[in-house]
Amino acid sequence: MNKKIYDVIIVGGGVIGCSIARYLSRYKVNGLLIEKHSDVGEETSCANSAIVHSGYDPLPNTRKAYFNVKGNKMMEEVCKELHVPFIRNGSLTIGFNEEDRKTIENLFSRAKSNGVDARIVEKEELHEMEPSLNDECLCALYCKNSGIVSPFELTIGFMENAMDNGFELNLNEKVEKIIKNNELFEVITNKGEYLSKTLVNAAGLYSDEILSNLEKPSFKINARKGEYILLDHFNNDWCKHTLFMCPTKVGKGVLISPTTSFNYIIGPSNDSSSKEDTSTDTSTMSILKETAAKLIKNIPYSEVIRTFAGVRANPDNDDFIIEESKTNPGLFNVAGIMSPGLASSPAIGEYVSDLIKEKLKLEKNNNYKSKRKEVLSLNSLGIDKYNELVKKCPAYGHMICRCEKVSEGQIIDAIHRNCGAKTVKGVKKRLRAGFGKCQGSFCEEEVCKILARELNVPLSSILYKDEGSEVFKYKSKGNNYDE
Ligand SMILES: Cc1cc2nc3c(=O)[nH]c(=O)nc-3n(C[C@H](O)[C@H](O)[C@H](O)COP(=O)(O)OP(=O)(O)OC[C@H]3O[C@@H](n4cnc5c(N)ncnc54)[C@H](O)[C@@H]3O)c2cc1C
């Protein structure tokens, strides 16, 4: 049987693979993205600081500096088109002594070289800008264009938009082998075999392993874990800016920042780890607390709702790898996308899609729609509009997650969109159901029932996340969930 030949196959559905798919869908392209998990954005792209860095930190003339500054500029428009939460809250990189002041002055010149709008603020102004700061905070580099974004919704938004424009997505499918067969790439997964004229390696932590199918990798990915503490939303004014410490050789250090849903994050740590290790431990939490205490006094740890960790994919050359392979033309490595990869994602997606457009001489897709269907947020509707909506469709009045105010109607919508939710975590990432104070203790069962009904599958098959994570695995006294 003749196999379909794709123009492009993307390996990896993190924010980078999904962004490339979105920008490629501006052209007439037969495209397929293959992701091993049950959803896009399940690895590094779902556990990070969520900062749209301004671009003062990367060394000038690096790919990190170029794509960060460009991505930051693009982010506002992209988030409007995709209905993704984004706030330009500004960042303050804080100095505590004269040595830090020197670092801040260096960062200021670096910001200027990178084309970033920045200025140094002194103690009085700094404490007016951020009243919760510790008295020892002496001066800061202020970058007003720094922002915060929802990394979950950005990744999903890119992929949904790509699918709305005809791109295909295969989930739960792991790429196991790749062979170059004449001019074509043969991609062999645990579920099938595909042929493609070009291949994008956007496999994050595993991009060196993916490349080794075709050639000896010229880079190695080193995993470094970052652990976080997450506070509930208790006061929208407690900390308005993203607060960084001065960077050191190993990274940007511990930060405190609001999120787009007005939670607060404290972290990350920076330790060598395995690629799979997303555990957290009490000794790292103590170090985070000790370091964060230098920035803000009396952090309300009674508001902690969870801890989590993400794993950085750090390449050994310390810069993004974004290039076509010389040994295997048509293979595009988009690897080692460490921080500021999230901030850079729209710029990387646009750039890589244009390389492929040139290679394959793709034509413009005249039916391309850059806008994604709106995602309803009850919090921003206002009471009159909400009442009208509930009259028309009572499911929007049936509250499932009370902590984050998410209704049955919204969950049904999230399931039936392109790149829709198929798991409990999928609903959580799209709507925040289960993200609140009770961490899903009250709503998880209801979410499972809605998923089972809408996907027309038995309740016992509903997963929290990937295969093997069935929520209702065992029957217990008195429950009769599987009819
Ligand atoms: C602690 C931490 C803090 C960070 N903070 C920030 C920040 O504030 N701002 C910022 O800009 N950046 C930040 N980053 C960096 C940012 O998160 C990454 O740059 C970005 O998420 C990388 O996306 P990606 O698509 O390359 O990788 P990933 O999100 O890891 O995606 C790769 C995908 O490939 C899939 N895959 C791998 N192998 C296979 C296979 N064989 N078959 C099928 N699929 C496969 C994986 O399942 C995964 O979904 C941070 C990162 C960490 C860890």
Atom of ligand 1 nearest to the CA of 343: 11
What are the start-end ranges of the E strands in 204-341?
221-231, 242-245, 255-258, 264-267, 271-272, 304-315, 321-324, 331-335
Q: How far is CA 102 from CA 105, 107, 192, 241, 246, in A?
A: 5, 9, 57, 22, 10
Q: What is the pLDDT of residue 2?
A: 72
- Please give the distance of CA 221 from its chain centroid, rounded to a whole number: 19
Mean pLDDT of 262-281: 96
Distance (Å, whole) CA 326 – CA 197: 15
Q: Is residue 324 part of a domain?
A: no
Distance (Å, whole) CA 453 – CA 228: 35
Mean pLDDT of 69-85: 98
Q: Is residue 182 part of a domain?
A: no
Query: Is the same domain home to 385 and 305?
Result: no
Q: Is residue 181 part of a domain?
A: no
Show which of 266, 298, 313 is a domain's final residue. Answer: 313
* pLDDT of 464 above 90: yes
Distance (Å, whole) CA 345 – CA 353: 12
Look at ligand 1, atom 38, and give the residue with the nearest C-alpha.
203
Atom of ligand 1 nearest to the CA of 50: 8
pLDDT tens-digit map of 93-129:
999 999 999 999 999 999 999 999 999 999 999 999 9
Cβ–Cβ < 8 Å for 472, 461: no
Per-residue confidence band for 248, with pLDDT thresholds at 50, 70 and 90: confident
Atom of ligand 1 nearest to the CA of 338: 19
- What DSSP string runs through 58-78? SPTTSHHHHHHHHHHHHHHHH
Q: What is the pLDDT of residue 379?
A: 81
**Which residues are identified as catalytic?**
53
* pLDDT of 215 above 70: yes
Return the exposure string of 71-108: e unless at least 16 CB atoms fall within 10 Å of the residue's CB, then b: bbebbbebbeebbbbbbebbbbbbbbeeebbebbeebb
Query: Is the same domain home to 102 and 246?
Result: yes
**By C-alpha distance, which of 226, 451, 419, 224 is closest to 336?**
224
Distance (Å, whole) CA 21 – CA 29: 10
Look at ligand 1, atom 21, and give the residue with the nearest C-alpha.
45
Note down the domain range covering 419. 378-461
Mean residue pLDDT of the chain comes to 95
Instruction: Identify which of 48, 156, 338 to mutate to test ligand 1's pocket (most ligand atoms within 8 A of the CB).
Output: 48
Query: Is the same domain home to 395 and 296?
Result: no
pLDDT tens-digit map of 429-442:
999 999 998 999 89
Atom of ligand 1 nearest to the CA of 335: 26
Mean pLDDT of 123-139: 97
Q: Is residue 228 part of a domain?
A: yes
Atom of ligand 1 nearest to the CA of 312: 53
Show which of 313, 328, 352 is a domain's final residue. Answer: 313
Instruction: Identify which of 36, 44, 149 to mutate to test ligand 1's pocket (most ligand atoms within 8 A of the CB).
Output: 44
Q: Residue 92 belongs to a domain with what CATH number?
A: 3.30.9.10
Q: State in Å: Cα 38 to ligand 1 middle.
A: 15
334: burial class by Cβ within 10 Å (0-12, 13-18, 19+)?
Answer: buried
Q: State in Å: Cα 342 to ligand 1 middle.
A: 8
Q: Is residue 290 part of a domain?
A: yes
Return the exposure string of 393-408: e unless at least 16 CB atoms fall within 10 Å of the residue's CB, then b: eebbeeebbebbbbbb
- Whether the link from the prior residue into 268 is cis, omega within 30° of 0, is yes
Query: Is the same domain home to 383 and 308?
Result: no
When computed from its CA atoms, the radius of gyration of the chain, rounded to whole angstroms, is: 23
Q: Is residue 22 part of a domain?
A: no
Q: State in Å: Cα 349 to ligand 1 middle.
A: 14
Query: Is the same domain home to 227 and 306?
Result: yes
pLDDT tens-digit map of 10-54:
999 999 999 999 999 999 999 999 999 999 999 999 999 999 999
Q: State in Å: Cα 310 to ligand 1 middle.
A: 9
Look at ligand 1, atom 3, and give the residue with the nearest C-alpha.
48
Per DSSP, 373 falls in state P
Cβ–Cβ < 8 Å for 17, 11: yes
Look at ligand 1, atom 1, and give the residue with the nearest C-alpha.
226
Pocket (CB within 6 angstroms of ligand 1): 11-17, 34-37, 42-45, 48-51, 53, 174-175, 202-206, 210, 226, 268, 310-312, 337-343
pLDDT tens-digit map of 348-405:
999 999 999 999 999 999 999 999 999 998 888 899 999 999 999 999 999 999 999 9
Instruction: Identify which of 22, 43, 155, 319 to mutate to test ligand 1's pocket (most ligand atoms within 8 A of the CB).
Output: 43
Per-residue confidence band for 483, with pLDDT thresholds at 50, 70 and 90: very low
Show which of 289, 313, 337 is a domain's final residue. Answer: 313
Query: Is the same domain home to 392 and 283?
Result: no
Name the 3-class secondary structure at 219.
coil
Distance (Å, whole) CA 146 – CA 52: 6
Q: How far is CA 51 from CA 252, 273, 431, 440, in A?
A: 12, 22, 20, 26
- What's the CA angle centered on 153, arms 150 and 159, to 5 degrees? 140
